[in-house]
Structure 1
Amino acid sequence: MGCSSCSTAEGGQPRGCRNNGTCATDGCNKLTVFDWLSNMSLPAGQEVFDVVEVRFKNSRKEYFRNSEGLPLSIGDVVATQAKSGHDVGHVTLAGELVRVQLKKKNIPLNADLPKVYRKATQRDIDKWHKVRGKEEEIKKRAREMAIILGLQMKISDVEFQGDGSKATFYYTSEDRVDFRQLIKDMAKAFGIRVEMRQIGYRQEAQRLGGIGSCGRELCCSTWLTDFRSVTTGAARYQQLSLNPQKLAGQCGKLKCCLNYELDTYLDALKDFPPLDTKLQTEKGVAFCQKTDIFKGVLWFSYRDDPATWHSLGSEQVHEILELNRQKKKAGSLEEYASENYQTEEVAFENPVGQDSLTRFDRPKGRRNRKKRNNKGGNKKRTGRNA
């Protein structure tokens, strides 16, 4: 990924900075928050909020207190306090909007937060990039060690601390894993302190990122901050095919986007009869086959003729149901089916002027047939002359 303002761009065309979201130019950052208060000045006498938001590798964000009063702005590389040593990250948010984010995450404003040590020096940045370059090789070796020990786990990502003294290994597993021996082997082989952190499959997809079936970047790695439970009921209410290959995302779970329009469907279905509705008519019992909430149409078919569907509006269906409650039967579905609810044939045109997809399937023209005939005649004449 890259952006037009990246230093590796040639002629305005990015060739890929390969920083994995650490270039801090906001072109490829994950879960960034737009600072809509940046162009507003503070009232007279009010001090700038002394907490900043710092983003580390991928989507990991933490809050630090700027107790030294450093002039920090979005995009600055800073050295921050860690449990031991220091870490290096980018400032993604500063000012009054950080106060709003703390309230949103239920963090007290006077909480004991770690500190920002300083703006990162060139030496800090060089060391940080050096240890980041080792992550892929160490992740590969760690996976090999886990396979040798027979551990049922998948190490999906490795994150080095800015000073290179510690590495956090993120893994996914179905069951509890005893990785004590693995930590000893990795600490001895890599010469660093090791921390193992288990994450879910959705968090794994959030950290790694990717392109979804819609052609856009994954929502969880770009803007989605919370993971709500998604059930198959969301697909049923939206009348989607219960195909696991289409409903599952890259994490192997149901797609988060199934919940986006669920509330709209539930509100629209309040005016519709249930899908198991049965209509009593003189011609027989009719069952609901399909519902279209956008057009307000329901399709019914008789028990004896399930292949023939009749489209009725929701008002007509409620009218027949009211007759059935009075222990009366409607005449037939054809009497209630209005012309307004009949399926209209839509003629599609090609405004772009693209060629037909079947242009290669056309038979060859006369010219080609004449060539074949001439070739055959020449062969025959050549045979007679010989």
Structure 2
Amino acid sequence: MIYEIKFAHGESNVFAISDIELAPQTEVILRSDKGNFYGKIVREISEEANLEIHHTIVREVNEDDLQVIAKLEERSKQAKDKVRQLVIEQGLEMKIIDVAYNFDQMQLFISFTAENRVDFRLLLRELATTFRIRIELRQIGPRDAAKIHGGLGPCGRPLCCSEFVYEFPNVSIKMAKNQNLSLKQNKLNGLCGRLMCCLTYEDSFYKEAQQLFPDFGEFVTTSEGKGKVVGLNVLKNRVKIRFGEYSKDFELAEIEVNHG
């Protein structure tokens, strides 16, 4: 069986094989040629999928493992403070998002964000001298940072990316236009500062539904005469028509589209 594994820190999800059946959200210990790691099952993957697999699930996390993990997380917090201190001392324009040891403490993962290119060669040498283990620096985007930190979205629920979005979708401002949403950035952006992933959830529905509707600015014929389309309400199946000095809503079935 093949499973997708999520880590708490900034490393990308990986795929691992297992001889035992495991449920989503199960915490596991896994092994690769880089050492041992701990993570959480996201989902089972079809064995027919063409994937590069470098990890093997060793076992479910047990009580002894939980004690080790608790100590590792405390050490990781201390390491994060030290890394941030070194970044400040060197005046580097980068923001440390997360620092985490792997399960056998042979590797330290450091994820960061940066607006511009950063020369961190000196930092890497300082880190190697300070921690004396293998260091992996990984630059991530603002969406990845939000996924790690988590938080509440405008809907009041935990961020989708922290809960169940495994791969970030392609989101465009056109999706907001299709759904007749406000185009103000503060209304459309998530905590990451990018367009919210949830804009994609109903996009296919609106695309399909709008094929039945006239376009904005198109002229249509109604029981009150010929007018111009100035508004659409896909969910209520209504069209807003302007006739000279006034506007009125009509059911979609009550209008006739004039394409001429």
TM-score (ref. length: structure 1): 0.57
Cα contact 2:220–2:256 (8 A) shared by 1: no
What's the secondary structure of 1:156's corresponding residue? strand
Q: Which runs of 5+ in 2 are unaligned?
A: none
Name the stretch that deviates more: 123-132 or 293-302: 123-132
Paired position in structure 1 for 2:14: 62
The answer (yes or no) to whether the contact 2:30–2:58 under 8 Å persists in 1 is yes
Structure 1 residue 173 corresponds to structure 2 residue 125: no
CA separation of 1:211/1:278 partners in 2, compared to 1, >3 Å: closer, same or farther?
A: same
Contact 2:5 2:14 in 1 (8 A): yes
Of 284, 300, 311 in structure 1, the residue corresponding to residue 249 of structure 2 is: 311
Counterpart residue type for residue 180 of structure 1: R
Q: Quick check: 1:87 aligned with 2:25?
A: no
Q: How many residues align?
A: 256
User: C-alpha offsets along residues 26-46 of structure 1, whole Å, 9 cap, x if unaligned?
Assistant: xxxxxxxxxxxxxxxxxxxxx
Residues 93, 118 of structure 2: 8 Å contact kept? yes
Structure 2 CA distance, aligned partners of 1:153 and 1:52? 33
1:302 and 1:116 map into 2 onto residues whose CA distance is 68
Q: CA deviation at 1:214?
A: 1.1
The answer on whether the counterparts of 1:88 and 1:120 sit within 8 Å (CA) in structure 2 is: no
Per the alignment, residue 132 of structure 2 pairs with 191
Q: Would you tell me which structure has more strand in proportion to its own residues? A: 2
CA RMSD of aligned residues (A): 3.4
Q: 1:120-160: per-residue Cα shift (whole Å, max 9, x none)? A: 78776544432321222322332232233232222111121
Residues 301 and 63 of structure 1, relative CA distance in 2, 3 Å threshold? closer
1:211 shift after superposition:
1.5
Q: Output the TM-score relative to the length of structure 2.
A: 0.81
Q: Give 5+ residue unaligned stretches, structure 1.
A: 1-48, 326-386
Question: 2:101 is matched with which residue?
Answer: 160
Q: Helix, strand or coil for the counterpart of 1:287?
A: strand
User: Is the Cα contact below 8 Å between 1:124 and 1:163 reproduced in 2?
Assistant: no
| 1:9-158 to 2 correspondences below 5 Å | 49=1, 54-57=5-8, 61-65=13-17, 75=26, 77-78=28-29, 80-83=31-34, 86-89=35-38, 92=41, 98=44, 100=46, 102-104=47-49, 106-107=50-51, 113-115=54-56, 126-158=67-99
Which structure has more relative contact order (CA 8 Å, sep 6+)? It is 2
- Aligned-pair identity in percent equals 29
Return the alpha-carbon distance in structure 1 between the equivalents of residues 197 and 237 of structure 2. 27
Distance change (3 Å), C-alpha of 1:55 and 1:203: closer
CA separation in 1, counterparts of 2:174 and 2:71? 48
3-state SS in 2 of match to 1:146: helix
**Could you say if the C-alpha distance between residues 296 and 91 of structure 1 is closer, same or farther in structure 2, counting changes exceeding 3 Å?**
closer
Residue in 2 that maps onto 1:213: 154
- Deviation string for 1:209-228 (max 9, x for gaps)? 22211121111111111212
Partner of 1:227: 168
SS in 1 for 2:124: helix
Q: CA deviation at 1:302?
A: 3.7
